[in-house]
Chain A
Amino acid sequence: MAGETASQFLPILYPFGLGILSGVISIVLSRILSQRRRYNPIKFLPMECGQIPTGEGRSHFMMQYYSYILMFVVFDVMSIFLYAWAVTFFSIPKEATLPMMGFLGIMFAAMGYALFLSGRKGIW
């Protein structure tokens, strides 16, 4: 059974492999066909609008929306959990919707509280 389930997914790999194949072929072809001029030190500098780059390319960068990332980690998983309920919706008894509403209520309350906290200044 496990093998059957896995073999369902096998055809996904065919286009994936074709994509890799076409990508490799086109890049190799481009390497063969394109003319490569002589090295000069300015050519391989990272793009910085004509200036000579200062500092590291991979520096620390302040992203101000850290709280959303924390929320995403939780609620992304919760939103996928809802699919387990949605698929079996008509095969489980009708009363089972009530606990689901409770789950949604908790999810909403938590999300609202998290959004409220994320809007507050001075704690992030």
Chain B
Amino acid sequence: MGSITPDFRFGNFAGSIVQLVLVVVALLTVLILPIIFFTLFFVPLPVVNGQVLTPYLFFSMMVDPSRTLPIIKFLIHTDYFRAAVFPGFGFSALIAAATIFIERKLLAKMQLRIGPLYAGKIEGIFQLVADGLKLIAKEIIVPSGADKPIFWLAPILFVSTSAAVVSLIPVASGWVVANVNVGLIAIFGILGFFPLITLLFSWASNSKYPFIGGLRALHQMIAFEIPFFLSALPAVILSGSLNLSDIARSQNIFWNIFVMPINAFVFYISSLAELERIPFDLPEAESEIVAGWLTETSGMIFGLIQLGSYLKLYALSALFVILFLGGWYGPQIFPHELIPGASASNISLLKIFGLVGLYNAVTVNSIFWFMVKTFVIILLMLITRGINPRIRIDILLHTGWYKLIVLTFINLFIVLTLIYGGILGPGGMISPK
């Protein structure tokens, strides 16, 4: 730690911070506030709570917090909020970051190690911050002879394509970024880009190990994409829709996993292969081909690919929950009102803390159960990594083509038999509404 200069004084440090704050405040009042007002003057403003939201009304609502609730409610129902914060990019990136940390800690405990320990006082909880700082401060080395545009573009595309997959996942009824009629097919379509990005990146790095890794990624897709597609087929038959929200809603009586356990298993296996996780991490097999297609990555490029693959992990776990584990359905455990009697009372403080008009018990409950189920599936995928070796590529192809496809068809015929036997489907003994 030789970076602190000898004439360092805390007083000077505090003084400079106060000066910075003053400059920021001055800029805010002189420049930024007028700019906000000018733009708001020309932008058509939405109607909130029966009156047009002018800048004056906006600021008066900011002062009185109980009037802020309608604005917040309006904001969280816009498309941009959904895409950027809640079911979209911000939330899923947070989950991905949490997953990385939990995975490192969990695998360490499983293998009788300690895991991240030093960053942060308690169990190294700031490890991710430290890692992020480290990755950002590292030099990105582009190997000589690499195809530079593709080399720079591929990691960015990896992250953004994963984010596009996440945008199709509904976390509660109506809480989805893109409510597409063909959501399932769209997810399959977007997932098909990943081996392409992998292959492009490995081709662009002009190195032998990444190239072999990229080709292996291609083979993995070839072995596991067809069982991956077919395993979702009975769920689509039962719900009669490709919309993911409709598929989840069709399971309000029973979860799909009870009639299609084999398919759930196949889906789980093939999503592990899709995610390139152990036991199917052939494209990045550390003990065989250095780091596979990630060999030439360094610094932030590696960080972006890591973020993208964990976003994908979240998306596929959520897809498993939607297809087989009944989506967001679960017993209602949240109270109807956060503070009983808050909406009827006149005290504004009660209304603020009770989040009157903002808090919806059913939605909160749905999100809670969806997250619990997704977390269980994520843990299942993490634990698999801790206890399994890697399989050989010919066994991988053999498993995909000879076993998993046949298993999906067996379960398809079981579901068809149940439908024609008058048990499932409309008019059956247990018919989803």
Contacts and interface: CB of A to CB of B under 8 A. Distances in A.
Interface in B134-153: 135-145, 152
A11 B167 contact: yes
Given A8-B179, A27-B304, A15 B141 contact: no
B200 to A, nearest CB: 12
Given A15-B160, A30-B136, 5 more contacts: A23-B160, A26-B136, A47-B295, A53-B207, A63-B219
A interface secondary structure, majority: helix
A61 B211 contact: yes
Contacts of A82: 230, 233
Given A68-B401, A111-B405, A15 B144 contact: no
How many of chain A's residues touch chain B, expressed as a range? 35 or more
A102 interface: no
A18 interface: yes
B164 A15 contact: yes
Contact of B139 (A11, A13, A29, A35): A35
A24 B301 CA distance: 10
A26 B304 contact: yes
Given A22-B159, A23-B159, A76-B229, A89 B143 contact: no
Contact of B397 (A9, A30, A31, A65): A65
Contacts of B207: 46-48, 53, 57
A86 B155 contact: no
Contacts of B140: 27, 30-31, 34
Nearest to A35: B139
A70 B159 CA distance: 30
Contacts of A29: 136, 300
Interface in B222-270: 222-223, 225-226, 229-230, 233-234, 236-237, 240-242
Interface of A: 5, 8-20, 22-24, 26-27, 29-31, 33-37, 43-49, 53, 57-59, 61, 63, 65, 68-69, 71-72, 75-76, 79-80, 82-83, 86-91, 94, 97, 104, 108, 111, 115
10 contacts: A8-B179, A15-B89, A19-B308, A26-B304, A34-B137, A35-B139, A47-B143, A47-B296, A53-B207, A68-B223
A68 B218 CA distance: 11
B160 A17 contact: yes
Interface in B377-433: 393-394, 397, 401-402, 405, 409, 416, 420, 425-426
A76 B189 CA distance: 12
B318 interface: no
A83 B236 CA distance: 8
Contacts of A30: 135-138, 140, 299-300
Interface in B169-227: 177-181, 184-186, 188, 190, 203, 205-209, 211-212, 215, 219, 222-223, 225-226
A34 B186 contact: no
B139 A44 contact: no
A18 B212 contact: no
B160 A16 contact: yes
Contacts of A20: 156-157, 159-160
Interface of B: 79-80, 82-84, 88-89, 135-145, 152, 155-157, 159-164, 166-168, 177-181, 184-186, 188, 190, 203, 205-209, 211-212, 215, 219, 222-223, 225-226, 229-230, 233-234, 236-237, 240-242, 290, 295-296, 299-301, 303-304, 308, 393-394, 397, 401-402, 405, 409, 416, 420, 425-426
Given A47-B295, A86-B236, A11 B208 contact: no
Contacts of B135: 30
Contact of B88 (A14, A48, A65): A14
A11 B161 contact: no
A10 B83 CA distance: 11
Nearest to A75: B226
Contacts of B82: 11
A37 B136 CA distance: 15
A34 to B, nearest CB: 5
Contacts of A35: 137, 139
B333 to A, nearest CB: 30
A87 B79 contact: no
B300 A11 contact: no
Shortest beta-carbon contacts, A-B, top 3: A19-B160, A14-B83, A23-B156
A15 B177 contact: yes
A25 B183 CA distance: 30
A18 B136 contact: no
A33 B138 CA distance: 8
B425 to A, nearest CB: 6
B143 to A, nearest CB: 5
Nearest to A28: B300
Contact of A68 (B205, B208, B222): B222
A44 B223 contact: no
A44 B397 contact: no
A62 B168 CA distance: 38
Contacts of B141: 43-44
